[in-house]
């Protein structure tokens, strides 16, 4: 008696339970139960991976769970179908190596689409698992990437507002002009002071007191002070407007930068994680780990098919082939019997039709004599002549009526 757990695994393997429950297949139960366990485990891996990948992309748990279960059910159905559809061919002990290789190649050809699909499924399953395994490193890599992108955005964002550069340049020009006037005033003021103190140096008279040169330098200093004050008065309103406009543009620039950074932070989806994983995979050890994980998952994905391919032919295969042959030959017998019955019915029908035709001919010959046949023929001739005369009169009448209507 098979317990419920083993029965469940046997159902997952796609095997026919009625055949496996026979005493001849007692040795096959463990192999097919293990095959079914691998099929259900592969489907569970696919469901977890598909659900995690969808959750990473959409951040919606209520969407990720049903889609992940649907993906796992798809992989389960596909594995179960392919495993159950692979038939182990019978090989005699005296068969040549070429014949055995030909039979094995036929089995491999049947499972080849599933083996190719297993590689793609393994990559699909491996990537989300890698993202979960390297989640701390991926988060750090995304943060570093966002920081660098924010710096680049801050450096290039002013180009999106050309007015900002124009306002800043105008303010810089006003400030530079004011700076030059202030330096000129300070320089002339120093000259007045040094000339009055009688400093002996190049460009100074060295005479203490307010001489002609001192008074000239004092006048130049006062003119420089007046020029500076006049320039400040003239540009005060313009500087105030430019300063306010510059602050407004800077606020707009900061808002754009924040919006860009916020959009980048909100774009923490599957593609961002995959890109970060690719950047981390540039490192040798991490690349080796990712490759090993893909190979491992590929082996897990192909395990049910590989077990069925390389397993020896057992009693279950013999009984299954016998049952299929019985059904096939019974159907052939039914088809042959149906064809025979149909041919017999057709022959009987044709024979009955021929007998009826002969009977009718005989009755006609025995019932009608030659004078009767001539009388029947004369009656038919008279009836035909009457119909012809009537048709001729109708045609003549129609012609005359048309002539009357055309020329009354």
What pLDDT does 42 receive?
82
Out of 167-176, 358-367, 383-392, pick the least confident.
358-367
* Phi-psi sector, 206: left (phi>0), alpha (psi -120 to 50), beta: left
- Based on the fold, state whether residues 300 and 341 are members of the same structural domain: no
Residue 362 has pLDDT above 50, yes or no: yes
What pLDDT does 89 receive?
65
- Residue 4 CA to residue 407 CA, distance in Å, equals 106
Residue 145 has pLDDT above 50, yes or no: yes
- Based on the fold, state whether residues 112 and 199 are members of the same structural domain: no
What pLDDT does 373 receive?
47
Q: Report yes or no on 148 lying in a domain.
A: no
Q: Report yes or no on 54 lying in a domain.
A: yes
- Based on the fold, state whether residues 235 and 124 are members of the same structural domain: no
- Based on the fold, state whether residues 8 and 126 are members of the same structural domain: yes
Mean pLDDT of the chain, nearest integer: 76
Out of 45-49, 199-203, 206-210, 369-373, pick the least confident.
369-373
What pLDDT does 382 receive?
66
Confidence of residue 364 (pLDDT cuts 50, 70, 90): low
What pLDDT does 70 receive?
92
- For the chain, how many structural domains are there in total? 4
Q: What is the pLDDT of residues 21-31, one digit of tens each?
A: 788 777 788 88
- Based on the fold, state whether residues 43 and 99 are members of the same structural domain: yes
- Based on the fold, state whether residues 23 and 58 are members of the same structural domain: yes
Domain housing 401: 368-408
Q: Report yes or no on 19 lying in a domain.
A: yes
Q: Report yes or no on 278 lying in a domain.
A: no
CB under 8 Å to 408, separation ≥6 — which residues?
none
Q: What is the pLDDT of residues 56-70, one digit of tens each?
A: 667 788 888 998 899
- Based on the fold, state whether residues 30 and 69 are members of the same structural domain: yes
What pLDDT does 299 receive?
79
Alpha helix positions (H), 21-96: 29-58, 61-85
What pLDDT does 216 receive?
84
Residue 403 has pLDDT above 70, yes or no: no
Q: What is the pLDDT of residues 215-239, one digit of tens each?
A: 888 888 888 889 889 988 988 888 8
Q: Report yes or no on 149 lying in a domain.
A: no
- Based on the fold, state whether residues 289 and 408 are members of the same structural domain: no
Residue 38 has pLDDT above 80, yes or no: yes
- Based on the fold, state whether residues 329 and 351 are members of the same structural domain: yes
H or E element, residue 164: helix 162-197
- Based on the fold, state whether residues 120 and 102 are members of the same structural domain: yes
- Based on the fold, state whether residues 307 and 348 are members of the same structural domain: no
330-to-228, 333, 344 alpha-carbon distances in Å: 118, 5, 21
Out of 6-20, 38-52, 292-306, 351-365, pick the least confident.
351-365
Q: Report yes or no on 396 lying in a domain.
A: yes
Q: What percent of the chain has pLDDT over 90?
A: 2
Q: Report yes or no on 75 lying in a domain.
A: yes
- Based on the fold, state whether residues 360 and 378 are members of the same structural domain: no
- Residue 134 CA to residue 288 CA, distance in Å, equals 13
- Residue 62 CA to residue 265 CA, distance in Å, equals 23
Q: What is the pLDDT of residues 278-310, one digit of tens each?
A: 777 777 777 787 778 778 777 777 777 777 777
């Amino acid at each position: 008696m098979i317990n419920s757990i083993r029965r469940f695994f046997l159902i997952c393997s796609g095997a026919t339970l009625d055949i496996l429950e026979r005493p001849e297949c007692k040795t096959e139960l463990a192999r097919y139960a293990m095959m079914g366990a691998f099929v259900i485990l592969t489907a569970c891996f696919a469901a977890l991976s598909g659900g995690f990948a969808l959750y990473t992309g959409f951040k919606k748990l209520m969407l990720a769970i049903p889609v992940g279960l649907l993906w796992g059910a798809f992989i389960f159905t596909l594995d179960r179908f392919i495993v159950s559809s692979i038939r182990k061919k019978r090989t005699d002990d005296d068969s040549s190596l070429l014949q055995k290789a030909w039979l094995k190649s036929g089995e491999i050809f049947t499972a080849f689409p599933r083996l190719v699909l297993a590689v793609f499924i393994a990559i699909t399953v491996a990537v989300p698992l890698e993202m979960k395994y390297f989640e701390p490193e991926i988060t750090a890599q995304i943060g570093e990437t966002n920081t660098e992108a924010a710096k680049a955005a801050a450096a290039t964002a002013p180009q999106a507002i050309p007015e900002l550069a124009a306002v800043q340049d105008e303010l810089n020009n006003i400030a530079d002009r004011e700076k030059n006037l202030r330096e000129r005033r300070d320089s002339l003021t120093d000259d007045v002071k040094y000339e009055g103190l009688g400093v002996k140096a190049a460009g100074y008279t060295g005479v203490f007191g307010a001489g002609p040169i001192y008074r000239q330098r004092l006048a130049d200093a006062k003119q420089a002070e007046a020029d500076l004050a006049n320039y400040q008065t003239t540009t005060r309103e313009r500087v105030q407007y430019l300063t306010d406009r510059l602050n407004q543009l800077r606020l707009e620039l900061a808002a754009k930068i924040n919006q860009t950074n916020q959009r980048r932070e909100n774009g923490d989806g599957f593609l961002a994680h995959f890109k970060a994983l690719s950047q981390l995979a540039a490192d040798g050890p991490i690349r080796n780990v990712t490759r090993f994980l893909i190979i491992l998952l590929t082996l897990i994905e192909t395990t049910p098919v590989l077990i069925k391919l390389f397993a020896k032919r057992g009693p279950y295969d013999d009984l299954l082939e016998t049952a299929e042959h019985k059904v096939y030959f019974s159907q052939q017998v039914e088809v042959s019997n149906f064809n025979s019955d149909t041919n017999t019915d057709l022959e009987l029908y044709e024979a009955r039709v021929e007998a009826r035709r002969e009977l009718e001919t005989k009755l006609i010959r025995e019932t009608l004599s030659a004078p009767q046949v001539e009388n029947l023929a004369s009656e038919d001739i008279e009836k035909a002549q009457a119909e012809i005369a009537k048709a001729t009169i109708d045609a003549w009448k129609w012609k005359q009526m048309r002539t009357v209507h055309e020329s009354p």
